Amino acid sequence: MKLGLLTAALGRMSLEQVAAWTCQAGYEALEVAAWPVGSEHIHQAAHLDVAGFTAGDADRVRDLMDRYGLTISAVTYCGNNLHGDPAERDRIHRHLRACVDAAAALGVRHVTTFIGRDIDLPVADNLKQAERHLPPLARYAADRGVRLLAENCPMEGWHPDGYPANLAYSPELWDWMAGLGFGLTYDPSHLPWLGIDPLDALDHALQAGIVGHVQAKDIQIDERARTRYGVFGKTAGRASPTDVGWWRYRVPGRGQLDWNRIIDALYAAGYDGDIAVEHEDPVWGGTLDKTLQGMRIAASTLRPLIVAEPEGQSPPSTSLTEPPRPSP
């Protein structure tokens, strides 16, 4: 198991700048964000331009990873694969296939995405839509030696009333999507506010053999505020989709998840993938300096829990020396 980070929160840095900083901060792997170029906003970066990705591009990325002693754990593009607009859904699927092609060219085993949801249809109809549209995507990936993984983020911000808009949010749906050919990118931070025990859910997923990748994000819950707002969060006065009033995402070490038990469960099950920090912490965010500090906090929390390299191999540097600053 290697400790990595998802590059999506570092969109103001180039992939080379991210790699230079990563290897100095105690990380060994990158989950590389690959949203379409030009569509980036917070937490959606384009560190791989997968449109027209060539053999030369693959060589340059591999050389970059080798230079800094890093590996790529997954290529990530989390679009709504069940979007209600057929033209937009087709665009999302084309970009996802391009992510698969880039991953295959790089020798990367996994591409992380969402299942999604057509918010104008009931869940039962969405399940039928998924069973029609998603297996061909999974087969496209499998034919190229890549496994599509769906992250279990509910994406309640995609729904006008804050209901789950990514049909991969519960263990019941993990079993269903496995039948469509999808594995799981397990992120425990999404589970407690839904009333799902993250360790029980992880045990189920590991026994089912569907965990291909793990994201490390924490959560902070205010139970008194939940009593005021209810499980779906604020109704009047909500400033943004994530302004729910009673919970917020944190970096590992600043929330309430038991990372010692989570990582121990992964080792006990023989999990051979990586764990990538996903930064969506409003306390340690907003500026590049604060975001990087949040990443350092996460590394200092998780690094002691990851088994050291075998004897004779050098452990990763934990120097916090900064790389050259990104261009404005």
The yes-or-no verdict on residue 159 having pLDDT over 90 is: no
Structure tokens at 33: 């964000």
| 33 occurs within a structural domain | yes
| 228 occurs within a structural domain | yes
Specify the pLDDT at position 308: 64
Tokens 């050389």 label which residue? 63
| 326 occurs within a structural domain | no
Instruction: For the chain, give percent helix, strand, coil, nearest 5.
Output: 40, 15, 45
The yes-or-no verdict on residue 325 having pLDDT over 50 is: no
| 214 occurs within a structural domain | yes
pTM of the shown model? 0.91
Closest CA to 21 of 284, 326, 321: 321
Specify the pLDDT at position 323: 44
Specify the pLDDT at position 274: 97
| 317 occurs within a structural domain | no
Cβ atoms 316, 26 nearer than 8 A: yes
Specify the pLDDT at position 81: 98
What H or E segment, with its residue span, contains residue 265?
A: helix 259-268
Structure tokens at 230: 């209810």
| 189 occurs within a structural domain | yes
Angle, helices 198-208 vs 259-268, to 10°: value is 10
Cα–Cα dist 212/188, whole Å: 14
The yes-or-no verdict on residue 320 having pLDDT over 50 is: no
Q: Which letter does DSSP use for residue 247 in this model? A: E
Specify the pLDDT at position 316: 41
Structure tokens at 195: 């009333």
What H or E segment, with its residue span, contains residue 290?
A: helix 288-302
CATH of the domain at 70: 3.20.20.150
Q: To the nearest whole number, what is the mean pLDDT of the chain?
A: 92
Number of domains forming the structure of the chain = 1
276: domain range?
3-305
Q: What is the pLDDT of residues 22-38, one digit of tens each?
A: 999 999 999 999 999 98
Q: What is the pLDDT of residues 274-318, one digit of tens each?
A: 999 999 999 999 999 999 999 999 999 999 999 865 544 444 433
Q: What is the mean pLDDT of residues 92-103?
A: 98
| 232 occurs within a structural domain | yes
Closest CA to 315 of 26, 22, 20, 19: 26
Cα–Cα dist 113/116, whole Å: 9
Q: How far is CA 36 from the centre of its chain?
A: 16
Determine how many CB atoms are found less than 10 A away from the CB of residue 282.
14
Specify the pLDDT at position 132: 97
Cα–Cα dist 224/312, whole Å: 51
Q: What is the mean pLDDT of residues 50-79?
A: 97
Determine how many CB atoms are found less than 10 A away from the CB of residue 72.
23
Structure tokens at 215: 């994201």
